[in-house]
A = this chain, B = another copy of it.
Amino acid sequence: MTVPKAPQIFPRSEYLRRIDAVKAEMAKQGVDALVVNNIRNITYLTGYTAKSAYVPQGVIISARQAEPAFILRQCDWPAALHQAWMSRDNIIMYPESLIGVDGKDGYDAVIDHVIDLGLAGQNVGLEFNDLMVSQMEKFKRRLPEAKLVDCAKLVAWVRGVKSDLEIALMREAGAIADAAVLRAAEVIRPGVREADVAAEIYKTVVKGANGKVGTDVVNLFLCSSPRTGTCHIRWTEDTIKQGSQINLELGAVRHAYVSAIMRTYSVGEPSDRLRRIHDGEVAGLEAALAAAKPGATCHDVAKAFNTTLAKYGFKKETRCGYAIGIEWLEPTASLQEGDMTVLKPNMTFHLMLGNWVDEDFGYSISETFRVTETGSETLTNAPRKLFQIN
């Protein structure tokens, strides 16, 4: 029996639009075929979200083919038949005998398909940033006549401007992230373990909001006193105490699309320093959102934040954010001074204003926003306050 096609998240026309945009970039770079192995790019081009990227797999886009070909491991082939928009002919399995052995792997099957498509003597784009050294050597060895071209961020830049359909999913994800921020405020109490708070957050981001479930989990960081100067610790076995500060960073997912948010909680009266940085950061956040509009640059947004924060006597060392979309971070536009990327409508960013001031002191706030036709709009909307737990 065949596995049925899943309800499709996007219409075929949306994928064709994406493929056309990628092909246009390929033409600019003189590339006849593109081999995509970055899993976020594969999701973007096919709709496939199963978690099989720990083994090699590849999507091949050829100027001559309307649909991309997706080559993946045998045991993951039914998931691709189920999820991906393409016809069965373009979803190709490689055998299990390529798993867990030395010398051979799934890229041999991907390269076989490149050869089958008659592309072995062509200009073949690869994502150099997503290929390991040994994998690259295989491409060079087995495609000696091909000119291998670095197309590292080609698809990622296409992903940068979202369609309204993608924005709708990120809006739903934002509402789930908001719900998790509010749930944390309900469960953070003296005597509660950090892990118990984390457990409730996970439950919330998966159950979802407004009848829309979370379709995956992404990063959750809960950095509590004395760890507020750290940013990427999951949580600990410690119990929250009176006087504890908790910095939270979390995201929610709708069909691979992420909206992220950060907020800070104080159990009892916040310190003066915490109040002051909160005031400065919120003012900076609002200045940054006001600066974000079509025609402005990433630089302008970061500058607006940094200038405002400086008035409050603080400085942020890390950048002010980055493009966000499928599975959180996009490796393209960066909200920092010096990044002259020009903003366009429906670009989306995590305005990440976490500020780790000292080894043992930091503060977290952020929003996910999109650029509109005239300015910006946040996709996360939890109260922009320092949550005080009494």
Contacts and interface: CB of A to CB of B under 8 A. Distances in A.
A82 interface: yes
Contacts of A101: 334, 338
Contacts of A185: none
A130 interface: yes
B133 A100 contact: no
Q: How large is the interface on A (under 10, 10 to 19, 20 to 34, 35 or more residues)?
A: 35 or more
Interface string A177-206: 000000000000000010110111011101
A217 B202 contact: yes
A286 interface: no
A318 to B, nearest CB: 5
A49 interface: yes
A78 B358 CA distance: 8
Contacts of A208: 195
A320 B280 CA distance: 56
Interface string A203-227: 1101110001111110101000011
B75 A356 contact: yes
B203 A78 contact: no
Interface in A202-257: 202-204, 206-208, 212-217, 219, 221, 226-227, 229-237
Contact of A232 (B51, B233, B338, B358): B51
How many copies of the polypeptide does the oligomer hold?
Answer: 2
A377 interface: no
A136 to B, nearest CB: 5
A193 to B, nearest CB: 6
B234 A82 contact: no
Contacts of A81: 359
Interface stretch (A1-9, A60-68, A159-167): A1-9
B329 A54 contact: yes
A2 B359 CA distance: 6
A91 to B, nearest CB: 11
A6 B95 CA distance: 46
Given A79-B227, A193-B213, A322 B100 contact: yes
15 contacts: A1-B361, A3-B229, A3-B360, A50-B234, A74-B317, A74-B318, A78-B229, A96-B318, A96-B319, A101-B338, A133-B136, A198-B206, A202-B206, A212-B237, A215-B234
